[in-house]
Structure 1
Amino acid sequence: MREFIVEADGGSRGNPGPAGYGSVVIDAATGETLAEAAEYIGVATNNVAEYRGLVAGLRAAHELDPEARVHVRMDSKLVVEQMSGRWKIKHPDMKPLAAEAGAVFPVDRVTYEWIPRERNKRADSLANRAMDDGGAAASRSRARTTAEADVRAAGNVAAPSPGWAPPDMGAPATFVLLRHGETPLTPQKRFSGSGGTDPALSSVGEDQVARAAAALAARGTIQHILASPLTRTRQTAAAAADLLGLDVTIEEGLRETDFGAWEGLTFGEVRERYPDDLTAWLGDPEVPPTGGGESFAATATRIAATRDKLIAAYAGRTVLLVTHVTPIKTFVQLALGAPPEALFRMELSAASLSTVAYYADGNASVRLFNDTSHLR
């Protein structure tokens, strides 16, 4: 019995956006490439494109020898785990594609293996070529529309360079920013940073994050989850991870600002006890809170470094970042090129969702801010 290796991948420039897939069929005994498949599939999500690539690869292998055994290698953990039967398939767009893939060969003749992206370069290259060749016009059109909407949403703040990226920029790293759910301190509007009591979610917060997790699962676009090390963000990330079937990676750079001696106090209490320090803090991003806290400038430096590290690590992927008010506002402020005082002009609700996409040329696109529709 012959054995084939199928390497498959898919991508979406926008997620959802112009999408394509690539597949390679390899002779397991000789390493010879026997068939290739690639196609531009219009507007779709990364996950849909990945499944389409899997189906195409399996069909190409079946045409070569319907009696063969097949070992599938993909860098999509979601597809590999779902097709292996270890994760449930909940998203309605995934179920028919998974069924289609499972029907090509008998189940006992197909095995699945997750591989790092760098080991899936042939399929990835074919998928990108398909998007380049078939999706250039659609990519430009959609990206321009998105950029125009971003400018309107940001109060007509003009960017120094176009907010859309030509197709040769590749798929962006897309960060979905989820603020943690309520803690007992949240409705009281008390300072709650990295230097405080590290409160857990309240019962209200637990309900909020369950709703947020369900909304993210329904979208079906998240490929990785990273979280701040604090208790409330780890709890929020765990709720999403349970529904999405993903692991959570703790990222120290996503922690909240340290508010020093102001931790646990309301704004009014800080104004009463530390009036001069508060005035200086509000007027200068370099000034830290009383008692050795972290200034907004220091937070921005930390978030920028974290952002750059994650863009490099997750290029072309959609990543859920579970974090806090100040980091999320800082991501948005930096993406818009807005001044530091913009942080005081943003309202960010508990368990809200925001999205920023980053292209290879350094351009950023703010696509969503403070979305709480899943909480209604």
Structure 2
Amino acid sequence: MKIRMEWVYKTPKGAEMVFRSDEMPAAQALMLAEDMDRIGRTKSLVFLDSYDSSWTIKELKKYLKGIETEPHNIIVYFDGGFDRETRSSGLGCVIYYEQSGKSYRLRRNAPAAGLMSNNEAEYAALHLCLQELELLGAHHIPVLFIGDSQVVINHLSEEWPVVEKDLFNWADRIESKIKDLGIQPEYELVPRKANSEADRLATQALNGIEIIATSEVVGES
């Protein structure tokens, strides 16, 4: 979860000034707030999340303590591939997350039939990621979804309207699942080369190579 800080700084002579920070990870904000509190010249300090809900230091500590043993700091990469000749699809999903003080990478792919376009395959890949998040037990937490599909990213971030019926149905399924899990989604569009891991998994699924693996990521946060 990203947090902004707002506080009043009071000088030894009693002058006061309001400060506001940029967004930062919640754990970093808490560390800074505790350090500022020790100085003794800060008052009325609050944290604001992306929904402008306010948190006290005590509330933020409780939140961070509560998610330690659950998946958090989740970043999801997704990609879908579609073969026009065979009318088959491959779905790729990569999930980076932290849990119990360790970092993990989950890789998952799957073949898919019955899809009619690459755009549908992209949506299906994102839906596969949501199913994996549900299996992980991720819920009521911010999640960053990264993909190279302008259609999917711009549809779900409401930059573009969804016109095609098939894609509308996929978008509806995805938004319903996100709501059920209580996920607070963020979407990021990247070039294809920045999504190579999920792209490779989708291609492997098209070629009949199925991968399901979770590994610890050492030396990365």
Report the counterpart of residue 130 of structure 1 in structure 2: 205
- Unaligned runs of 5+ residues in structure 2 are 1-66, 210-221
Query: Among 11, 14, 18, which residue is 2:81 paired with?
Result: 11
1:105 equivalent to 2:175? Answer no
Report the counterpart of residue 117 of structure 1 in structure 2: 192
CA distance in 2 between partners of 1:27 and 1:45 (Å): 30
**8 Å Cα contact 1:6-1:25 kept in structure 2:** yes
Deviations 1:208-256 (CA, angstroms, capped at 9, x unpaired)? xxxxxxxxxxxxxxxxxxxxxxxxxxxxxxxxxxxxxxxxxxxxxxxxx
Report the counterpart of residue 62 of structure 1 in structure 2: 134
Q: Please report how far the alpha carbon of residue 15 of structure 1 lies from its aligned counterpart in structure 2 after TM superposition.
A: 7.9
Report the counterpart of residue 91 of structure 2 in structure 1: 21
Greater strand share, structure number: 2
Bigger CA radius of gyration: 1
Deviations 1:128-178 (CA, angstroms, capped at 9, x unpaired)? 1111118xxxxxxxxxxxxxxxxxxxxxxxxxxxxxxxxxxxxxxxxxxxx
CA distance in 1 between partners of 2:116 and 2:132 (Å): 22
TM-score (norm. length: structure 1): 0.33
RMSD: 2.3
Deviations 1:82-138 (CA, angstroms, capped at 9, x unpaired)? 00011100001101110111122237611100011011111111111111118xxxx
Post-superposition, which runs of at least 4 consecutive aligned residues in structure 1 deviate over 4 A?
28-31
Report the counterpart of residue 72 of structure 1 in structure 2: 145
CA distance in 2 between partners of 1:45 and 1:90 (Å): 15
**8 Å Cα contact 1:20-1:42 kept in structure 2:** no
**8 Å Cα contact 2:115-2:121 kept in structure 1:** no
Structure 1 residues 43 and 55, CA gap change in structure 2 (3 angstroms): closer
TM-score (norm. length: structure 2): 0.55
Q: Could you say which structure has the greater relative contact order, defined with CA pairs below 8 angstroms and 6 or more residues apart?
A: 2
**8 Å Cα contact 1:20-1:40 kept in structure 2:** yes
- Unaligned runs of 5+ residues in structure 1 are 135-376
Q: Please report how far the alpha carbon of residue 32 of structure 1 lies from its aligned counterpart in structure 2 after TM superposition.
A: 2.5
Deviations 1:292-341 (CA, angstroms, capped at 9, x unpaired)? xxxxxxxxxxxxxxxxxxxxxxxxxxxxxxxxxxxxxxxxxxxxxxxxxx
- Secondary structure of the structure 2 residue equivalent to 1:67: coil
Report the counterpart of residue 82 of structure 1 in structure 2: 155
Structure 1 residues 116 and 16, CA gap change in structure 2 (3 angstroms): farther
**8 Å Cα contact 2:75-2:145 kept in structure 1:** yes
State the percentage of identical aligned residues: 28
**8 Å Cα contact 2:76-2:95 kept in structure 1:** yes
Structure 1 residues 58 and 128, CA gap change in structure 2 (3 angstroms): same
Report the counterpart of residue 214 of structure 1 in structure 2: none
CA distance in 2 between partners of 1:85 and 1:69 (Å): 18
Given residue 53 of structure 1, which amino acid in structure 2 is its aligned partner?
A
CA distance in 1 between partners of 2:150 and 2:174 (Å): 16
CA distance in 2 between partners of 1:119 and 1:31 (Å): 20
Report the counterpart of residue 167 of structure 2 in structure 1: 94
CA distance in 1 between partners of 2:85 and 2:192 (Å): 18
Trace 1:254-293 onto structure 2 (pairs within 5 A).
none
Given residue 120 of structure 1, which amino acid in structure 2 is its aligned partner?
N
Q: Please report how far the alpha carbon of residue 53 of structure 1 lies from its aligned counterpart in structure 2 after TM superposition.
A: 0.2
CA distance in 1 between partners of 2:140 and 2:115 (Å): 34
Query: Among 94, 105, 108, which residue is 1:36 paired with?
Result: 108
Number of aligned positions between the proteins: 134
Given residue 184 of structure 2, which amino acid in structure 1 is its aligned partner?
R
Q: Please report how far the alpha carbon of residue 17 of structure 1 lies from its aligned counterpart in structure 2 after TM superposition.
A: 2.6
Structure 1 residues 35 and 13, CA gap change in structure 2 (3 angstroms): closer
- Secondary structure of the structure 2 residue equivalent to 1:34: strand
Structure 1 residues 31 and 78, CA gap change in structure 2 (3 angstroms): farther
Given residue 7 of structure 1, which amino acid in structure 2 is its aligned partner?
Y
Deviations 1:165-197 (CA, angstroms, capped at 9, x unpaired)? xxxxxxxxxxxxxxxxxxxxxxxxxxxxxxxxx
Given residue 125 of structure 1, which amino acid in structure 2 is its aligned partner?
R
Trace 1:1-376 onto structure 2 (pairs within 5 A).
1=67, 2-14=72-84, 17-27=87-97, 32-64=104-136, 65-106=138-179, 109-133=184-208
Structure 1 residues 126 and 42, CA gap change in structure 2 (3 angstroms): farther
CA distance in 2 between partners of 1:31 and 1:10 (Å): 25
